[in-house]
Structure 1
Amino acid sequence: MRKLIPLVMMSLMSLSAFAGHHMESEKTDIVDTAASQETFSTLVTAVKAADLVDTLKGDGPFTVFAPTNKAFSKLPEGTVEMLLKPENKALLTQVLTYHVVSGKVMAEDVMSLTSATTVEGSDVKVVTAMGKVMIDDATVTKADVKTSNGVIHVIDTVLLPAEVKKAL
């Protein structure tokens, strides 16, 4: 186990260093930071549709596991369009708040976690092994994107609470 910890920490540091574009900005909030990157356009559209912009622009701090457009494209065909319909706002809100944890959880904090309670109310499973950090079925591809009101960890899969998985 002791040998694994440095490997995981090195992996987290390399994830933190990975940056296609410099997203980090402790001067902008979570929403503005995500909105500044095309790779999060689906997420930003969803946040707007769920009326969560003001919440995620709030004081926080928040930790957001942010799925990319590519992550959304992995959902079954028609799922995103269905979630964005006004009549499905409650379901969309449930999905999005499942991606948010209260507080600022940095990569170094992950080492002591096996789960985290989301704003939605359910727990996500946290697994750190083989140089990867997994949140439920999603892999963290970039960690510690600092914002003025929290932190973003980029993930490659949309997280779905068990209740939503059954509904889909």
Structure 2
Amino acid sequence: MHDIVDTAVAAGSFKTLVAAVTAAGLVDTLKGDGPFTVFAPSDDAFAKLPAGTVEDLVKPENKPKLTKILTLHVIPAKVMAADVAGKKMSPASVSGETLDVDGSNGVMVSGAKVTSADIECTNGVIHVIDTVIMPKG
């Protein structure tokens, strides 16, 4: 079993996420002890953003904004799909903003649908989502 970063790299469907995490300087954080729950947007999720968005976000001058977006996708605890099944909760993300998690019909996270759940890693868990979650503020 690998940590969250190595698992995402090995999966092959998170190239944009891995590039963004690298640009934001968050690789060491997500290789840390955790536990973390990462709602990982697939490459298809990033592709749904307006043209040029990702290219703009990975520029050095946009690192604070990129970091805020990425840390919004991380909860500083291990949360499995079974923990939210049939429930609604609002956990705080690493960015400080709360997420709206609704497990009443599948699992939705702040408008993003979990398409693959419970990918266990040595330092947490990855849930694949179909939409990039953007900060409210």
Given the two structures, how large is their TM-score scaled by the length of structure 2? 0.96
Provide runs of 4+ in structure 1 moved above 3 Å.
Answer: none
Indicate yes or no: 2:128 matched with 1:154.
Answer: yes
SS class of match (1:159): coil
Q: Larger radius of gyration, structure 1 or 2?
A: 1
Please tell me the residue identity of whatever aligns with 1:56. L
Shift of residue 129, structure 1, vs aligned partner? 3.0
Aligned to 2:70: 96
Gapped regions of structure 1 (runs ≥ 5): 1-26, 164-168
Over aligned residue pairs, what C-alpha RMSD do you find? Answer: 0.9
Aligned to 2:91: 116
Within 5 Å, which residues of 2 pair with 1:5-154? 27-111=1-85, 112-130=87-105, 132-154=106-128
SS class of match (1:75): coil
Counterpart contact for 2:88–2:104, Cα < 8 Å: no
Identical positions, percent = 58
Shift of residue 93, structure 1, vs aligned partner? 0.2
Q: Which is helix-richer, 1 or 2?
A: 1
Q: Distance in 1 between matches of 2:127 and 2:20?
A: 17
Shift of residue 128, structure 1, vs aligned partner? 2.2
Q: Distance in 1 between matches of 2:15 and 2:24?
A: 14
Q: Distance in 1 between matches of 2:124 and 2:19?
A: 20
